[in-house]
Structure 1
């Protein structure tokens, strides 16, 4: 029976586990009574000295005392040997967490390794309630929980509980424990869009909008030159102009609101097409991206043609030549750095496109 139980451990670590189990009968008993503890002693995570915990086992100390010495939560006792495919990371072990996580332990041996790593990752990046939440959601819809998306979802859930931060201010739909993974991913993506807009444009309005505001044929052409103006337009017109931070920062696009008698009727995008070095109307859409009328298109063309393009700075910036706004970047992430007491490699103090795209 012992041999059969030991063979259930991951092939890569079976040798180490078996070698440790042969050292003493009490150590071998852990294969059945506490598979996670045996694994943690045989394959300790970096920085963990398992010698004291191992001595406790041989001395016949209580499992709880041994587990504490090995920094292994007691709630892991219910997980099968198949759950451990790499050294066990640090995991929450508070009383409230133990009660909640007990309701979401995996029954599938196949899902156990991924479940454990996902719970540990979210606990590290976010907080204990989010770790319990992702434990539930992974068991409910495992195919929808992509490990590569955990970083963004964890940050979103963490800032959802930090009301005095810029990160919280940028959240439209905050995380709650009852949200399902699909809506959570969508809300986190919306939050990332707002982050992108803010770190690309910063706090200052766009100084050069290429063209000038004017009234033509009863329509007012008004610049969307600030984050507030762009966000208000996106909400009022149900469109995606909040995703234009990159293009605006690189001087490749400009956004305008078209209004009549104070009411918004369309959103206009200026940009470049088909190798033309001069800007043209790329898009002119009504609310919800509805088609604009022929009359409105004619007014927009007239407005465009009143300008002297030779006087406009149309130099377009390459991706590597447009710095992100450092002040916004620091203001955004400083609360997270301080709370976690570290600067993650993937979230450096210097803003970068690589770090932004890795969220």
Structure 2
């Protein structure tokens, strides 16, 4: 009688523990997990020994048949064998039930990845599902080293990682490793695994600005610069009439000139370099005001956007007045109507499409300013 009561109590305790474990799964999938666990005691044991495996078998990803792996569980095979049959990394065993908010995507499982990822697992059950999804996305869109890096950064400073920016980060980090590509040539600061997120975002944004400049202006020289090169009061006014000239000026003068490709393409302004004795002293932007049909000096700044001296402004005004402003065609394009350079767009992204064997709907084969801006 006593032994029967004890056995009954132990069964009740085991049931209670089991129920508590199941309640930790996402409410949306809890029913599927419970239904599967009830099929066999060995399947139910996975709730304690390998929560990720139980979830992956109850909520399989598309095109995955869990039946062979379930048979392995019921036959009493080891967890490593069952995980292999389920195409599930064994390192997921250390994640709590709270980590699974949808079918588990394919994840890296190389020996190096397994050793390293153990150092960056999330301690917070609340962070775990975000962490798992981000690691899977970065592994798919970029590469294993980037997935390890984002795992570390997300655990180190969760608020510093913005999921909406990950596509840009992934593209930039992927191209950072592809030396024989045009996309890599446009990277000023490549990705490295010791970077912090803030530095990475700034470098990726700079890369995107460079791409936007190239696809906005193409590879041809800007034929109509409105004005002519000139020399006034010891200053040389030289045209920035190509993507390379604009990029070099931006880097040398530490300014945001590379962001003006869109502006120039829509015939809103022209860019010039001011030099003295062969040295860059200022960057000049000529444009037209809303109600002014004639070009005027919109910006004139020294290195790092410092204020240009008064005598340089005078020289620039004198240079401008040497032109017949009435003959300059300053007809502006309506914003968004200037075509992007298709050859440049394809040259940048083709290696990525080929390597990943797909063209994502967010990185279309047709040049798109909105797609580039949305990264």
Q: Secondary structure at the match of 1:12?
A: helix
Q: Is the 8 A contact 2:283 2:302 kept in 1?
A: yes
Report what 2:312 is aligned to.
296
Q: Secondary structure at the match of 1:320?
A: coil
Per-residue deviation at 1:308?
A: 2.0
- Once the two structures are superposed, what CA deviation does each residue of 1:102-145 show, in whole Å capped at 9, x if it has no partner? 11111111110110011001000110011001100110011000
- The whole-number CA distance in structure 1 between the counterparts of 2:86 and 2:331 is 60
Equivalences for 1:164-179 in 2 at 5 Å? 164-179=180-195
Per-residue deviation at 1:278?
A: 2.2
- Return the index of the structure with the highest Cα Rg: 2
Q: Is the 8 A contact 1:122 1:134 kept in 2?
A: yes
Report what 2:352 is aligned to.
336
Report what 1:187 is aligned to.
203
- The whole-number CA distance in structure 1 between the counterparts of 2:195 and 2:316 is 44
- The whole-number CA distance in structure 2 between the counterparts of 1:245 and 1:274 is 19
Report what 1:308 is aligned to.
324
Q: Which runs of 5+ in 1 are unaligned?
A: none
Normalised TM-score (structure 2): 0.93
Per-residue deviation at 1:313?
A: 2.1
Equivalences for 1:27-46 in 2 at 5 Å? 27-46=43-62
- The whole-number CA distance in structure 2 between the counterparts of 1:288 and 1:97 is 42
Q: Quick check: 1:109 aligned with 2:157?
A: no
Per-residue deviation at 1:26?
A: 0.9
Q: How many residues align?
A: 359
Q: Secondary structure at the match of 2:272?
A: strand
Q: Quick check: 1:51 aligned with 2:67?
A: yes
Q: Secondary structure at the match of 1:13?
A: helix
- The whole-number CA distance in structure 2 between the counterparts of 1:37 and 1:160 is 35
Report what 2:165 is aligned to.
149
- The whole-number CA distance in structure 2 between the counterparts of 1:346 and 1:150 is 13
- For 2:142, which of 126, 134, 151 is the aligned residue? 126
Q: Secondary structure at the match of 2:370?
A: helix
Per-residue deviation at 1:61?
A: 2.1
- The whole-number CA distance in structure 1 between the counterparts of 2:101 and 2:293 is 56
Report what 2:370 is aligned to.
354
Q: For structure 1, which segment, 324-333 or 300-309, has the greater mean C-alpha deviation from structure 2 after superposition?
A: 300-309
Report what 2:361 is aligned to.
345
Equivalences for 1:1-359 in 2 at 5 Å? 1-359=17-375
Q: Is the 8 A contact 1:197 1:242 kept in 2?
A: yes
Q: Is the 8 A contact 2:281 2:302 kept in 1?
A: yes
Q: Secondary structure at the match of 1:225?
A: coil
Q: For structure 1, which segment, 316-325 or 260-269, has the greater mean C-alpha deviation from structure 2 after superposition?
A: 316-325
Per-residue deviation at 1:349?
A: 1.3
- The whole-number CA distance in structure 1 between the counterparts of 2:361 and 2:156 is 31
Normalised TM-score (structure 1): 0.97
- Once the two structures are superposed, what CA deviation does each residue of 1:151-177 show, in whole Å capped at 9, x if it has no partner? 111111111111111111111111111
Q: Is the 8 A contact 2:182 2:348 kept in 1?
A: yes
Q: Secondary structure at the match of 2:336?
A: helix
Per-residue deviation at 1:338?
A: 1.1
- Once the two structures are superposed, what CA deviation does each residue of 1:307-351 show, in whole Å capped at 9, x if it has no partner? 223322212122332111111111111111111111111111111
- Once the two structures are superposed, what CA deviation does each residue of 1:231-290 show, in whole Å capped at 9, x if it has no partner? 121122111101111111111111001112211111100112242232211101111111
Q: Is the 8 A contact 2:294 2:326 kept in 1?
A: no
Q: Secondary structure at the match of 2:274?
A: strand
Q: Is the 8 A contact 1:209 1:254 kept in 2?
A: yes
RMSD of the TM alignment (CA)? 1.2
Q: Secondary structure at the match of 2:281?
A: strand
- The whole-number CA distance in structure 1 between the counterparts of 2:187 and 2:373 is 18
